[in-house]
Structure 1
Amino acid sequence: MASSWTLDDFRGEFDEVEFVEKLTQRMGSTASATGAKFDPAPYQASFSRAVAAIDDLERNVTASIAKATKELAVADRAHQRKLKEHGATLDAVLERFARLDRRISSVAQTAVRIGDQLEVIDVAKQRNAYGSKMIGHFLSMTGERAAVPDAFKGQTLDDLREAASTVQALQQAAQDLSRLPNMDHAIKNISNAADEIENRLLKEFDQAWQANHVPGMRACAASLLEFEGGHLIARIIARIIGEVGPNPDPPDSVEQFHSELSRLMDSISNACSKYFPLIAEVFPQPEKVIKPFVERVYEDNITGLLETGVGALSADTNAYLAALEIGFDLNRKLMRSLTAQVEELKLPSDAVLTSFKLALKDHADGLFFQYRDTFISRQFDVLVRDSRSRIDRTLAILPQATDDNPLRSEYAVSITDWIRAVFQTHIVDALLDSFSIALARVDKLAEPSRLPEYVWRIYKTLVEIVNKPFLHRLADSILESMSDEDGGDMVAVENGCTLEFVGCIDAIVQRLNDFFDVEIAKRLQDSLNLLTNCAQERHELTVALESKMSRALRITLDLAMQCSARTLSNLQQKTDFRPKDDQLLPDGSGCSPAASAVVDYIGRHSGSAIAHLRGKNLDCYLHVLGLRLYDLLSNHIRQFVVSNAGALLLMADIRVYQDLVRQFHVSEVNDRFETLRHVVNVFAVPAESLGSLMNDDPVLAVERIPRDDLHSFIKMRSDYKQNNLRKYFA
């Protein structure tokens, strides 16, 4: 019977009533088929037992669940109780840790305070101990026959250095207490002890010197330099001068004097080259040795040889003057050599140079006195005569003025050709070289007290010769060349002659300024009145020339803008920006012919400016050129009605203009043209997008471009009235 059941009979939701009905139905049908009488009692009993077993199982399970629930509740209460106990324990532990941390911090602060107090106490103890020791040493020296303290009897270098420090402190104390009574014995005994220690240190230094032991010399020098008297420095200087050798006998000729003085200078230079590096290694302030050495060698050696040599040759005037010049030149050579050696050591050379000048000052005044006045008078006469002669020869080809044409010579030499020929002579460079030579001679042979006056006279002579007779004459000729009635103005602008000439004038002015800074200002830095006079002469010359050259540049800019305006007027067609067939867009192959011509012209013009102008003149010229070109193009664009198709060509024109002005490297000009590029976008967008463009483009914001200016461009749109674009500015 069991095999008659299938899995499908138990699918879905189980219904016990339906299951019993099916079971009994099958049992009944089986009994009918076999012909046996169906007895349900066994099945009922079996089913009842099964149901009873199920009920028992259910009661057992329910009881187990109830028991487990009670046990869980009991365990949970126990867990919560233990959790509270652990939490309380943890809080207690944390509180104990906090108290411990506070105690540790308090202990640390206390330890720091105790350490500071101990350090102060230790310093005080050390100071007291040092003071007690010094007092003990000082008291031991107060007797008439005082014994030398044991601290001064050390044999090692460290002991000697410590003894030197101690005795120097005692010397200072003795000086401070010298007014007190009964201090004579103490001062004498301390001085004797100091001399003894210094002599022992000098002996140690000599031994280190002989052994070339730099650390030993450095250690001894550090202590010896603290003693008064400078015995160490004097000893070193004497050793170096000993290697220079004695001065020779008075010379019989200029050649012998030259030879002997050269030998002496070379010996001094070689000795310095040998010992200066050693001095720099040994002494913390080597200039304290180098400066006295230079003064000593000039006083004992150089000055002596100069006096004997010049005195021996004084009978022969030419030999006497030659000896003076030889002595001056060789002395400068030695100064350069010693200065170079000092610079290699990275030591301050001002003291050395000052020593040179002071050592030679008295002798130089006497040596050059007899030749001075004659030389100065002749030098000025030759300088003025030769300079004027050079200027006259350079300007000799000046065109002869006629009533018909004042700018053409009778030999058909144009004014521009004449100006260029004059500049090509480089006459100013030649003049400045002559004046530099004159200044150098004055430096060597003039009386030092009158040197500033001579320098001022030379510079004033230079300005008088170069100013009106030459530079202003050239400047006036440049201005005249720009007013040539035969069209010379446009020719000068086209070929860049004016910019070339202005650049030449500017180069000459810069050369004169450099000459002033290098040759004049340095010589007059101690004579402020004369320096002010020379500066005023330079200022008047510069201002007058700058005024004329600025006028020439303004005229050049005006002519360049006029030429550009004519080019735009002649080549720019109305149909460029408003073609007849507005649906036919430009092929994008390039800009308009007018823009191409202007870019080519301004490019050549700016290239000429870059080639000939320099510095602020170039920056200012390109700045003004760029701004005026912007103004010209802005006004030019507002003269044309622009359609959407024409806007594309206009945008191409603006791009080539931008590429041109970027070569100027002027930020303001670049910003102006970048703004113009954004402005012409208003011609390209549809009418319904114009408002969005004005609001979204930051370059078109009110802060960048006033609304009236922007409106003046939008008025030139071909659909301005048709689409009522005025509404954006109402």
Structure 2
Amino acid sequence: MKETKDGQRTGRISKSSPTDSHPLVLDIDDFKGDFSFDALFGNLVNELLPSYLDEEIDTSEGLGANDTMPAGHVRTHSDAGKASQVISSPLFPEVDALLSLFKNSSIQLIDLRKQIDKKLNNLKNEVATQDSKHRKTLSELEKGVDGLFDSFARLDSRISSVGQTAAKIGDHLQSADAQRETASQTIDLIKYLMEFNSSPGDLLELSPLFSDDSRVAEAASIAQKLRSFAEEDIGRQGMAVSSVMGNATASRGLEVAVGNLQEYCNELENRLLVKFDSASQRKELSSMAECAKILSQFNRGTSAMQHYVGLRPMFDLEVMNADVQMVLGDPGSQPIPSNVAHGLSSLYKDITDTVRKEAATITAVFPSPNDVMSILIQRVMEDRVPKLLERLLVNPSLAHPPPMEEGGLILFLKMLAVAYEKTLDLARDLSAIGCGDLDVEGLTESLFLPYKDVYIEYEQASLKQLYKAKMDELRAENQQASESSGTIGRSKGASIASSQQQISVSVVTEFVRWNDEAISRCTLFSSQPATLAAKVRVVFTCLLDQVCQYITDSLERSRDSLTEAAALRERFLLGTSAEAAAAAGESSFRSFMVTVQRCGSSVAIVQQYFANSISRLLLPVDGVHAASCEEMSTAMSRAEASAYKGLQQCIETVMAEVERLLSAEQKATDYRSPDDGFVPDHRPTNACTRVVAYLSRVLEAAFTSLEGLNKQAFLTELGNRFHKGLVNHWQKFTFNPRYFLIYFFIGNMRLWW
């Protein structure tokens, strides 16, 4: 191969003998790098084809010149002969050269392929040999690595063993050092113990350690250890002496050491307390903390804690007396619950703020601040608060309760509720500050437990006292009104007295208000549903008794008015006095109807109060709600019995007045028949007019006051009695049988309308 001018490799071709020579010589190196068969054979063809193309061009040019002459003459036969000679030569004379070239190239390529295949086989064999060697070497390396890992494992095990051995040696050395230190300390303790056990009360010959103020903490620790050891030894010795009773050679023991140690510890503790007080006055918290830390070794520091709490100014007697004056006001003045509540709120807020400030100091000074806070708050709840409650809550006598002018029992109950509620708030505030394991609310409950045990008895007595005071007030008002109006007349006075003693719904509403306040106190003092339900039932029973008594008394007073009016009717049958007695009866009738109406409204108020406020408190306990409903029904039935009797008296009053009017106003001529010579007169008679007018007045009051079945029963009974009385009245007169039935119905209609 050779390079052409444009850089392409071409075969070497000889044009003189293209078929015999082998111009193309291929080499393996020619196929390396960027090799292209298309470029190779293209260059070969390009070298052969241009000569053929030049000859073809020359031939075509010669033929064209002979075919057409410039002058336009036709070619001659000689020119045609020359052209035929040219055409008879081969059209592609280089084809043989190309075929030879291609065959030669094919042969050389086959030879080259065989050479390459041989080299590839040799290379494969060499690669296989090298791969086998590599695998063998790799296997040997893996075995070597496994051996290294085993060596490392053995080395690690040996290192671990050496480390454990070193640790054991260190532990033994540390234990030996600790034992040496313990032995040294034990020797010192024995020496100190012998010093304390020398002679009773002799503390002058002690080591300098026990008198050096700079080593107080160390001295306290050693003294406590010696004391504990000596007391334990005495205990063991006592058991041994009991087993060898009568042994005269028994050792004296460490009783002297115990006594001397106790005396020294007391002296040291007192010295520390004095130092602690001095630092407290100077407010040196660091010195206080140092003393408190040392004092914690004496009985866990209880004496220091109690000493600190006991010296707080908040427990001074003057401060406690000021508490009473702040809450109750000036001595001799009657306390007002609202003022007491305000005073307690202010006082308890001051106590809470003081405890909060003390908590900051206690946290900075004492090693166990929760224990100190527990002692402080316990002192507040067992000393300062009880002294205030003793002056604030004095149990009044139930046999001789204080009069209402001095507040009565209700004042004590209101003060108790205010004090309990505010003290509970104080307990919650103190618990929020922090008091360790102290149950502050439990302490509060224990403070009020004596009051809560007898509370319900005071509540019952208070409700009775309030009821009695209210009744006395109403009677006084009625008496004053009666005296101011003067004496007008017996019958008229009875009517006035009856109207002045009418039942008032506002009074029943006041009863309910008292009861609701009592229920709220029951809820405050009772946390358990069963206890609350029992107390609520007792209080509600008081309301039922009060309302029933008030209603029954009002009905009985109205009945007394009806009875008095009946007595007047029997006494005065004719004349002006009879009219006055009739007016008194009508007034009593109206008064009783108003009383019945207001009684119904009062009962409705009680029933509504029971449904809205009482039922939900009784339902959690089985049977209590049903029992209260039964009690309410029984109480109302007593009032209903009195009302029934009064309504019967009202009917008697109406019928008595109707009979009086008929007897006084009815004339025999009112029922004359046409046989007597008179034309029947269908106009109402005077008796009819007056009876109808009277019935209209009294029935208007009945229609207004009664309702439902009560109205129906009353009107039915009154109608039956009126019909019977009217028939009896007519039987006193003589009628024409022909017109008796007509007059009967006409008269009946006249009287009703």
- TM-score normalized by the length of structure 2: 0.39
Structure possessing the higher radius of gyration over alpha carbons: 2
